[in-house]
């Protein structure tokens, strides 16, 4: 089993070959186009039918239920965290289009948390308030998760709230939030969990919600890729993005593994850690290549 850093050093799992002559030529959607896409892709979390999910959950093997709950907890708590902690980035907008897009991203994250709250209440059957269900989900998240979502994300968001014009703070925040939390962790988890449900033909409401959330996340990551490519034109900021990635990859890797399990033998449902780590690294490497950063070369030179 290799970690994200080890795989990047090997240049495996879809990491770029080092040829990045086309960087800058790849057309990317900017904030205005992404805002307009948001208008076309709007959806409602409260109309997803969860009746079949309730029956599937009740009939499910208790061991599988427990593993699914662990996976879901990270999404529920994570979506709540990324909603409030986006406020500093919203304040840092540099154009009217960026302001409009970032506000849509914040409401998307609130909608995602609403969807998971509804699933916890109606399908898992956790009674009480939204706050009590969130607290219950926290019992399943790991120390690495807490360090990332209650530590770094909050501290780096607060730096932007204090000074929304601090471009270094903004670059750090987008690297953590859009590249690693959304582009590496969330989209990987969503892909494997959706694939599992579809193969086993269970929890159709979960699948429908995850598909819609994943579409939103792709739009958010597209903004982060656009923003970092703009800023990476400055060599000092490009080095800063690289330094932050190297610093954050070990923690990102740890967030993929639950509390108290052996990372060598642990499987996410029926996928090995090698499979999920390779998928996560491939997704990250492709986006970094668009930004103009060769992850393999970055790790090899460190």
240 binds Fe ion (CB under 5 A): no
81 binds Fe ion (CB under 5 A): no
Q: Site residues for Fe ion, window 168-187 (CB under 5 A)?
A: 182
Nearest alpha carbon to residue 4 among 279, 192, 271: 279
The piece of 74-82, 159-167, 233-241, 284-292 that touches Fe ion (CB under 5 A) is: 74-82
With CB under 5 A, what is the number of residues at the site for Fe ion? Answer: 6
CB of 111 to Fe ion, least distance (A): 8
Binding residue (CB under 5 A) for Fe ion from 56, 69, 109, 172: 109
CB of 216 to Fe ion, least distance (A): 6
Question: 174 or 256: whose CB is closer to Fe ion?
Answer: 174
Q: Which two tokens stand for residue 247?
A: 């610093």
Question: 69 or 217: whose CB is closer to Fe ion?
Answer: 217
Question: 182 or 294: whose CB is closer to Fe ion?
Answer: 182
112 binds Fe ion (CB under 5 A): yes
CB of 10 to Fe ion, least distance (A): 29
Contacts with Fe ion, 217-236, as mask; x by CB under 5 A: x--x----------------
**Site for Fe ion, rule CB under 5 A:** 79, 109, 112, 182, 217, 220
């Amino acid at each position: 089993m290799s970690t994200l850093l080890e795989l990047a050093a090997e240049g495996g799992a879809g990491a770029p070959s080092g040829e990045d002559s086309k960087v800058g030529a790849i057309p990317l959607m900017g904030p205005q186009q992404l805002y307009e896409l948001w208008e076309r892709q709007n959806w409602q979390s409260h109309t997803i039918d969860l009746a079949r999910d309730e029956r599937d959950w009740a009939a499910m093997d208790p061991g599988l239920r427990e593993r699914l709950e662990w996976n879901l907890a990270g999404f529920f708590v994570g979506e709540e965290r990324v909603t409030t902690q986006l406020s500093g980035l919203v304040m840092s907008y540099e154009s009217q289009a960026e302001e409009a897009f970032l506000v849509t991203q914040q409401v998307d994250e609130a909608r995602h948390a609403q969807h998971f709250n509804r699933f916890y209440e109606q399908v898992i059957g956790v009674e009480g308030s939204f706050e009590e269900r969130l607290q219950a989900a926290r019992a399943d998240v790991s120390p690495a998760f807490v360090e990332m979502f209650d530590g770094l994300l909050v501290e780096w968001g607060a730096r932007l709230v204090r000074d929304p014009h601090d471009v270094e703070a903004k670059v750090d925040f987008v690297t953590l939030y859009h590249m690693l939390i959304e582009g590496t962790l969330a989209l990987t988890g969503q892909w494997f969990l959706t694939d599992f449900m579809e193969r086993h033909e269970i929890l159709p409401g979960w699948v429908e919600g995850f598909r819609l959330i994943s579409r939103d996340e792709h739009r958010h990551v597209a903004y982060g890729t656009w923003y970092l490519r703009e800023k990476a034109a400055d060599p000092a900021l490009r080095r800063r993005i690289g330094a932050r990635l190297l610093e954050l990859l070990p923690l990102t890797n740890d967030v993929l593994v639950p509390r108290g399990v052996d990372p060598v033998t642990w499987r996410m449902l029926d996928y090995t850690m090698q499979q999920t780590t390779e998928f996560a690294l491939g997704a990250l490497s492709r986006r970094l290549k668009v930004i103009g950063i060769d992850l393999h070369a970055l790790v090899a030179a460190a």
